[in-house]
């Protein structure tokens, strides 16, 4: 269980249909997650580098499925589920935006319209929740 829920999120899961070579996105709303912004410092040969990172804690729910299973579903089945895959897009809050990959509804348009748009980097699964690292 997420201890300190502070927002809802909109997740866009990317998939391809067998009949075309176009990126498609399925939108899902996930309520009551814990969204934490962090600054990460990395020391290297040229000094310290700072980068933004976001950590999102999400409760496990019955409509979550593993990424490979999600991709195998037909559109009619896929609409009932969400997954967490590196490269998928998350936006802080519930939003009304159809991400299609086409001009006006592509990732650039989404990032221009909303402040907190992140891409999943890694997912850690625990007994009752997920920790999703994004940037």
The pLDDT score that the predictor gives to residue 17 is 83
pLDDT > 90 fraction of the chain, expressed in percent and rounded: 76
The pLDDT score that the predictor gives to residue 7 is 98
Beta bridge partners of 12: 27, 89
The model's pLDDT over 24-48, given as tens digits with 9 standing for 90+, comes to 999 999 999 999 999 888 888 888 8
More confident site: 21 or 59:
59
Nearest to 131 by CA among 28, 39, 122: 122
Report the pLDDT averaged over residues 41-58: 89
pLDDT above 90 (res 126): yes
CA dist., res. 28 & res. 14, Å (int): 11
pLDDT above 90 (res 87): yes
Average pLDDT, the chain: 94
More confident site: 93 or 20:
93
Place of tokens 């998939």: 15
DSSP line for 29-62:
EEEEEEEEEEEEEEEETTEEEEEEEEEEEEE--T
Place of tokens 């899961």: 13
Nearest to 36 by CA among 57, 58, 12, 61: 57
Report the pLDDT averaged over residues 117-126: 98
CA dist., res. 65 & res. 70, Å (int): 6
pLDDT band at 107 (very low <50, low <70, confident <90, very high): very high
The pLDDT score that the predictor gives to residue 19 is 82
């Amino acid at each position: 269980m997420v201890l300190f829920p502070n927002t809802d999120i909109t997740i866009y899961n990317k998939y391809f249909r067998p009949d075309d070579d176009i990126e498609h996105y399925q939108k899902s709303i996930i309520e009551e997650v814990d969204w934490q912004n962090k600054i990460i410092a990395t020391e290297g040969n040229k000094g310290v580098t700072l980068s933004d990172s976001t950590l999102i804690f999400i409760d496990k729910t019955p409509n979550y499925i593993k990424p490979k299973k999600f991709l195998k579903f037909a559109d009619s089945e896929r609409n009932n589920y969400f997954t967490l895959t590196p490269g998928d897009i998350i936006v802080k809050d519930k939003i009304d935006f159809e991400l299609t990959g086409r001009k006006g509804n592509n990732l650039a348009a989404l990032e221009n319209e909303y402040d907190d748009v992140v891409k999943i980097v890694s997912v850690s699964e625990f007994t009752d929740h997920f920790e999703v690292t994004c940037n």
